[in-house]
Structure 1
């Protein structure tokens, strides 16, 4: 059993009792979130409830079982009632039943609405006071403060939810989807309401609060919960976060985070009183039997090339639902991870597969990799999927429901921008591809140990310049023919200004907003998902 002491940054009470009779201070601080994982019934929610009771004055609790429905999009009570409700709920949330029971769900939602509107009103009052007092410098600073609803809109867009929130008539909160007619937030979908309530509760929490989140994935799709929480952590660096979850990709997405692995617990008088747990340092792997208990029926693991912050993971979570996805830094890391799982006889409960970019893979290697459970993309990298002409055209159609413009003109502008960006990089891109082609030719002609032992002498000669000129001529011909499809599929377009050119042509604020719109398209459109799945060779059939 590993022990840990309270970090210097922590000002919270975090001592919990262990089944062996000792105490452990959980490493809670604002430096990095603490994740709590473990099988159903192990005592994760009880641990969250205990941390709430230990910190009655500065803890905020967001429960998995909490209902997300709303009776109204306005503040449903007076200021005095708001204060009384907050006091009542804090007392109720300190009870043992709070692990599974929710009191007055609609009123709790109303408190979040009230806090959001109060923050917006306070910002307006502070700005007016500064102008009235003639303090223009302060007024400029206040005007630059982000409005809470604007921040949530930004969070939504970054998580693939195309919803804009604003203050409506009579101090209500309204939503607007894809630039459409405003409507009450009470009419949002279950997942959208859950995202709003989680974000609203966190953004309106007091400074330096301890924010306890119990199973956020219960109401949110896996492709949304990770980017939403990562953005919220960044928005509130003053707060400490403790997140109980079954989604093992969450700890993986935060390399600096520690993880509490809860194995079992003991109850006294219907309240969880002691735990069997370990504190895992960043990077420490959870054993396979525990992963099986946590993940449950998700017996397929997919190792992908990239990091938790790259574009690969959120897209692949949409394309391969029900599969546990784990990023690895390089192609070799993916191969090693898949081989390690497949070679471990004790891990019979899980099947491991891998996805790697095509950028370093020769066509002659594909069959060999497939036999090992590794499936290279049919295009250079994941950016080739996000920015393919078909996806750009579909996004342009959607974008024209939000902003003024003609989709055909947008697509043509995007093509023009991509061609211009590539034309300025022809020499370098051709050289990059030639470099890999040379490596592949040399690799194919390398003798094996038997040939060397038998005395065979091998001379390898490669006409690098001829290959370079051929590659350069091919790229120039594709530019002349405006063959964006082939260019995007073959070359590392992320190393050029081509991506920014697409974003600007389609009138998005930045790449993140465009890429979130692509994921929303993939979520909504089965035909788009099917088309993208064709780029993964036999992986779809292998996972079936």
Structure 2
């Protein structure tokens, strides 16, 4: 296996022309890999091809669209034809079409098999030569060195793939699983072959190579690709690695790595020539989930209160196009994520914002959050947007173009049934709102550690019953006046049957079907989008 180069090699050419007319030197280094991430079509493969062309003599390329099946488990050509095949393959990999096309894929796996067998034979010859020359210490040192194929066996076990491969006397490579019978490596699973081929390319590369690996996860499970690559990086400290990937946990797992975030690119005559990108340096002081969000995001990030399968995310993706949206469990989690991104100068190109549920936040709390870039909904929660009376009425009209029915009758039934559902839960809803108000008041009056250290004593008294009676009177008044707009906006109506009765009155089969219809309405109607945007306070203006 290759070792560190004794003579210093010239640096790799990594200047990248940018779409703004300037250029950027990509920070490649043997000290840590460089990861390249970005959405499909942004230009990642074009960037990898550009690096390969610039460093043609010393670069090794593993394409994203590589073929993993093998025609044989032996060397399919003579030594002379192997040299010619290597030359042809390298030249073909420099063509513009190599971004998406692989030439002569069967020969590529044959080259890797040949290189693995050659490396094993070369090591054996070197050991024999050392013994014949009386260099016993050198022979012993060479004997301790694992050939690439045995190293691959160790890597596969360390990556959770329980197979071992050996070279047979007839120069074929066979595999065994857990001491079972031997079988051709051509019969390995897709993932096993992919792991063998990637590791084979890396471990047989010439010393000091620039190794370009495009989408290693294409044929590998996420649980395998990360440990495999991390081990390969450690086995080849003499080489420089650039890895293009959609597996965002990869750069997060490699603490010293830099990450290139490709935003877009320009193609002229089928050749990518300019890129719009950012570089994320290692060691930024943010947690792993937030770092992974940054790696997978656009330049504008929106952290929202909720879960990945909640109603918030799909609606906000419509209302805030071109913005990457990431759910967080609580208001505090949203605040922490936004603050950590905004406070990190190394990622100044990221604009981070947050949305939290109203949940009866106090005016002081909302002002404090807005100063940090976190905005509260003008309504209790996102359900109040989906079931906003204006939207319910428009959905009823749309529904009646599909089924027989009178939208006005649907609406009358929806509000009658909603008021009945709220009335039967009025005391509990009033108590829930009181609970939050009491918690907020206590929280505001709590002394901080400085006041406690200074000897200040605080006695907090809250008249919860007064709050409760006032809240109950407010809700009862709205029920009597049939003010469904205010009820939906202020209370956690999802804790009652209110949403279900609306969906039933409009003759939808389920809430999810109704909510999908709402999102379709929002996509179609710019006026509705503007109306909903008004519920986010100063967020739309801040993001603009």
TM-score by length of 2: 0.54
Verify: 1:275 aligned to 2:290, yes or no: no
* RMSD (Å) for aligned C-alpha atoms: 3.4
Verify: 1:291 aligned to 2:296, yes or no: yes
1:335 and 1:167 map into 2 onto residues whose CA distance is: 59
Q: 1:159 to 1:347 in 2, by over 3 A?
A: farther
Instruction: Render the CA deviation track for 1:315-357: whole Å, top value 9, x for unaligned.
Output: xxxxxxxxx999xxxxxxx997577359987479xxxxxxxxx
What is the aligned partner in structure 1 of residue 211 from structure 2?
211
Alignment of 1:382-393 (within 5 A): none
Instruction: Render the CA deviation track for 1:143-181: whole Å, top value 9, x for unaligned.
Output: 011121110011001100001111123011111111101
What is the aligned partner in structure 1 of residue 251 from structure 2?
251
Q: 1:208 to 1:336 in 2, by over 3 A?
A: farther
Alignment of 1:111-510 (within 5 A): 111-284=111-284, 291=296, 340=336, 346=354, 453=457
1:130 and 1:75 map into 2 onto residues whose CA distance is: 28
What is the aligned partner in structure 1 of residue 506 from structure 2?
none
1:325 and 1:168 map into 2 onto residues whose CA distance is: 54
- Aligned structure 1 segments of 4 or more residues deviating by more than 3 angstroms: 283-290, 292-295, 299-302, 334-348, 448-456
Verify: 1:70 aligned to 2:66, yes or no: no
What is the aligned partner in structure 1 of residue 39 from structure 2?
39
What is the aligned partner in structure 2 of residue 439 from structure 1?
none
1:107 and 1:207 map into 2 onto residues whose CA distance is: 23
1:231 and 1:183 map into 2 onto residues whose CA distance is: 26
Instruction: Render the CA deviation track for 1:42-61: whole Å, top value 9, x for unaligned.
Output: 10000000000000100000
Structure of greater Rg: 2
Instruction: Render the CA deviation track for 1:56-88: whole Å, top value 9, x for unaligned.
Output: 100000011000010111111001111001100
1:120 and 1:150 map into 2 onto residues whose CA distance is: 9
How far 1:256 sits from its partner (Å)?
A: 1.0
Q: 1:287 to 1:213 in 2, by over 3 A?
A: closer
1:335 and 1:72 map into 2 onto residues whose CA distance is: 58
Preserved contact between residue 175 and residue 183 of structure 2 (Cα < 8 Å)? yes
Preserved contact between residue 258 and residue 281 of structure 2 (Cα < 8 Å)? yes
Match of 2:27, SS state, is coil
Aligned residues: 321
Unpaired runs of 5+ residues, structure 2, are: 1-7, 285-289, 310-325, 340-351, 357-445, 461-544
How far 1:103 sits from its partner (Å)?
A: 1.0
How far 1:301 sits from its partner (Å)?
A: 7.4
Unpaired runs of 5+ residues, structure 1, are: 1-7, 303-323, 327-333, 349-447, 457-544
How far 1:291 sits from its partner (Å)?
A: 2.5
TM-score by length of 1: 0.54
